[in-house]
């Protein structure tokens, strides 16, 4: 017996399989694998087929080719052979025992939010969602912020609001500010935070700046135009300028993570200053935070620094209430994920 579908249903199914230009749409994970196969293993980045002005970090595409993280065996998918879930869960449990709440904030891969920039023929709905994997963390007692869902909301409501740099491996100034406010909304009413208020914190009106990001070689910088992005500076207000609020050991809030916490804050190869996540988080909270951030530190580096600090100062965690851990989601399959204690006790 043959199953006959109404013509209207067939039309809808066909439309769902077509890319915007009317051609056959491609599966996202297959597109990622194709982009990797078409590039050299030594390439730092892969230019977009959908938009030649956009570049994608090769290591991030290597992460994305694993598909649905929730269905993957991360002890095998992770290039170091380490499943991050039990490591993160143990760290969260240790912090909870110290009276500290952990919030994990994985930054989604750029191509998962802007798949059409990688390839115009990709079917956006075929991008594996990060939410099921974050649910696995939640089941182990880890609170995580689903930025993928938040970023897709912004893409729908404000399509002109660019959330990632086209030529850099990091999020944009707009994303820094957005995520800072999402995180601050969870903790700004804590008594310990309100008691540590700092007067004079402010955000300046946006200004447009030009950047060449870290995904371009020197040769490419000669042929690829600088991208223009709006940036709002945040800090202690002084007329039409602000002063950077530096890391504060007295803060009840600890922020740890990779270069996503340094971009647009530290300047130099981090593109700009006073417009990063930490800058906006401090203004949104109304208080300074203590930072443990580093470039190329992965998931381990900042935790090592915290462990060393706790060894020198046994009371380090005594007045801390929240630890906000921000890192690129590619660390789930690219990071080492060593078990590093939150508190090191001297023998």
Q: What is the pLDDT along the chain (347 residues), one digit of tens a residue?
A: 444 544 434 333 444 444 545 557 899 999 999 999 999 999 999 999 999 999 999 999 999 999 999 999 999 999 999 999 999 999 999 999 999 999 999 999 999 999 999 999 999 999 999 999 999 999 999 999 999 999 999 999 999 999 999 999 999 999 999 999 999 999 999 999 999 999 999 999 999 999 999 999 999 999 999 999 999 999 999 889 999 999 999 999 999 999 999 999 999 999 999 999 999 999 999 999 999 999 989 999 999 999 999 999 999 999 999 999 999 999 999 999 999 999 998 77
CA-wise closest residue to 114 among 53, 72, 180, 40 = 53
Tally of structural domains, the chain: 1
Residue 344 domain-assigned? no
Residue 2 domain-assigned? no
Residue 1 domain-assigned? no
Residue 341 domain-assigned? no
Residue 3 domain-assigned? no
Residue 346 domain-assigned? no
Pairing assessment for the beta strands 207-211 and 227-231 based on DSSP bridges: antiparallel
Residue-number span of the structural domain to which 198 is assigned: 8-334
Residue 230 domain-assigned? yes
Residue 107 domain-assigned? yes
């Amino acid at each position: 017996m043959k199953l006959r579908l109404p013509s209207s249903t067939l039309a809808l199914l066909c439309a769902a399989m077509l890319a915007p230009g009317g051609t056959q749409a491609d599966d996202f994970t297959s597109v990622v694998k194709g982009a990797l196969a078409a590039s050299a293993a030594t390439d730092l980045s892969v230019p977009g087929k959908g938009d030649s002005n956009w570049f994608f970090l090769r290591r991030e595409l290597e992460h994305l080719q694993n598909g649905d993280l929730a269905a993957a065996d991360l002890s095998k998918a992770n290039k170091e052979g380490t499943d991050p879930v039990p490591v993160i869960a143990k760290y969260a449990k240790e912090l909870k025992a110290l009276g500290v709440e952990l919030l994990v904030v994985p930054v989604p891969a750029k191509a998962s939010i802007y798949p059409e920039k990688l390839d115009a023929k990709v079917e956006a709905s075929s991008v594996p969602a990060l939410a099921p994997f974050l649910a696995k963390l939640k089941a182990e007692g880890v609170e995580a912020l689903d930025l993928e869902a938040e970023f897709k909301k912004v893409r729908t409501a404000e399509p002109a609001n660019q959330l990632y740099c086209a030529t850099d491996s990091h999020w944009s100034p707009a994303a820094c500010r957005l995520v800072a406010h999402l995180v601050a909304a969870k903790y700004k009413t804590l008594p310990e935070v309100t008691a540590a208020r700092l007067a004079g914190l402010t955000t300046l009106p946006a200004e447009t700046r030009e950047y060449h990001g870290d995904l371009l070689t020197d040769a490419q910088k000669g042929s690829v135009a600088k991208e223009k992005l709006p940036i709002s500076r945040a800090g202690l207000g002084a007329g039409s300028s602000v002063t950077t609020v530096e890391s504060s050991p007295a803060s009840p809030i600890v922020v740890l993570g990779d270069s996503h916490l340094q971009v647009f804050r530290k300047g130099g190869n981090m593109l700009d200053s006073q417009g990063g996540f930490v800058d906006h988080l401090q203004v949104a909270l109304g208080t300074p935070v203590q930072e443990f951030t580093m470039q190329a530190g992965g998931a381990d580096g900042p935790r090592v620094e915290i462990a060393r600090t706790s060894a020198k100062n046994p009371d380090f965690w005594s007045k801390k209430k929240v630890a906000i851990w921000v890192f690129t989601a590619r660390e789930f399959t690219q990071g080492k994920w060593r078990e590093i204690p939150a508190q090191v006790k001297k023998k």
